[in-house]
């Protein structure tokens, strides 16, 4: 996809959804961090159901650390990999209290040093909570970027670097949410809905297989 087509893609996505945001429900950077940690291999709907109950009793690192691994499990047991996630969340909360005065750090290295927080989670927090122009590449964004030709790459990191290099600066802050929503509801994995896609005429797949 050339530069002009890529700009048109994001101009159309912006017109369609001027203020995109995550579908995870949160009120603070800490709640977002916990929600994103829970979202691995889980739907946002299932995470929101769990965090609604969890955040009602523990919405700070101190309070959540106080639950302990055993205490947090009943709130997240409907989420996949909940045993591992429980251990990581409690360990992260304890580090937030001991190293960061109970605040979510705004630096990538500090975020990725937290148990259970990888590059994708750090990117989501940096972008959504702190407004940084980062792009977290999940399965939806990886698929959309490669399928459409917006940013081809063999690995999520390669796609991320390509997106950061080629997405015009004015669209970079919101690109993550536009692409993930497009992949979730339009450019789906098994059967993309090309007939209702607002960028289908610019898409590499559509041009190759009209």
pLDDT on residue 208: 57
Spell out the domain ranges in the chain.
3-19+134-208, 29-129
- Categorize the per-residue pLDDT at 6 as very low, low, confident or very high, splitting at 50, 70 and 90: very high
Lowest mean pLDDT among 93-102, 116-125, 170-179, 199-208: 199-208
| Catalytic-residue membership of 120 | yes
Residue 207 has pLDDT above 80, yes or no: no
| Catalytic-residue membership of 174 | no
The CATH fold assigned to 29-129 is: Endonuclease III; domain 1 (1.10.340)
- Categorize the per-residue pLDDT at 45 as very low, low, confident or very high, splitting at 50, 70 and 90: very high
pLDDT on residue 124: 96
Average pLDDT taken over every residue of the chain? 94
Distance, CA of 199 to CA of 6 (rounded, Å): 10
Percent of the chain past pLDDT 70, that is, above it, reads 97
Percent of the chain past pLDDT 90, that is, above it, reads 92
Residue 206 has pLDDT above 90, yes or no: no
Tens-digit pLDDT profile for residues 52-87 = 999 999 999 999 999 999 999 999 999 999 999 999
The active-site residue, picked from 49, 59, 73, 120, is: 120
Distance, CA of 38 to CA of 48 (rounded, Å): 10
Residues in the chain: 210
Q: Where would I find the beta strands (DSSP E) of the chain?
A: none
User: Could you give the angle at which helices 82-99 and 61-76 cross, rounded to 10 degrees?
Assistant: 180
Instruction: Give, as one character, the DSSP assignment of residue 195.
Output: G
The active-site residue, picked from 52, 59, 138, 201, is: 138
Residue 210 has pLDDT above 80, yes or no: no
Write down the pTM of the prediction: 0.91
**Secondary-structure percent of the chain, ordered helix, strand, coil, rounded to 5:** 65, 0, 35
Distance, CA of 27 to CA of 5 (rounded, Å): 36
Distance, CA of 68 to CA of 90 (rounded, Å): 6
Tens-digit pLDDT profile for residues 120-175 = 999 999 999 999 999 999 999 999 999 999 999 999 999 999 999 999 999 999 99
**Number of other residues whose CB lies within 10 A of the CB of residue 68:** 13
Distance, CA of 116 to CA of 87 (rounded, Å): 9
Structure tokens at 166: 């080629």
Residues 6+ apart with CB under 8 A from 22: 32, 44, 124, 128, 177
- Categorize the per-residue pLDDT at 43 as very low, low, confident or very high, splitting at 50, 70 and 90: very high
The CATH fold assigned to 3-19+134-208 is: Endonuclease Iii, domain 2 (1.10.1670)
Instruction: Give, as one character, the DSSP assignment of residue 50.
Output: H
């Amino acid at each position: 996809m050339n530069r002009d087509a890529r700009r048109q893609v994001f101009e159309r996505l912006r017109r369609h959804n001027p203020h995109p945001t995550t579908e995870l429900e949160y009120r603070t950077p800490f709640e977002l961090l916990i929600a994103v940690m829970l979202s691995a291999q889980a739907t946002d709907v299932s995470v929101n159901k769990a965090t609604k109950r969890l955040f009602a009793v523990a919405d700070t690192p101190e309070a959540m650390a106080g639950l302990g691994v055993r205490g947090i499990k009943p709130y997240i047991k409907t989420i996949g990999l909940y045993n591992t996630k429980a251990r990581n969340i409690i360990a992260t909360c304890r580090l937030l209290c001991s190293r960061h005065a109970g605040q979510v750090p705004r630096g990538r290295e500090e975020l990725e040093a937290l148990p259970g927080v990888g590059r994708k989670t750090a990117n989501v927090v940096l972008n959504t909570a702190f407004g940084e122009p980062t792009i977290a590449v999940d399965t939806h964004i990886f698929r959309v970027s490669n399928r459409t030709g917006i940013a081809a790459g063999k690995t999520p990191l390669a796609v991320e670097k390509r997106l950061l290099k080629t997405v015009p600066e004015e669209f970079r802050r919101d690109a993550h949410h536009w692409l993930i929503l497009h992949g979730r509801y339009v450019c789906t994995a098994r059967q993309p809905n090309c007939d209702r896609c607002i960028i289908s005429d610019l898409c590499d797949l559509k041009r190759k297989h009209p």
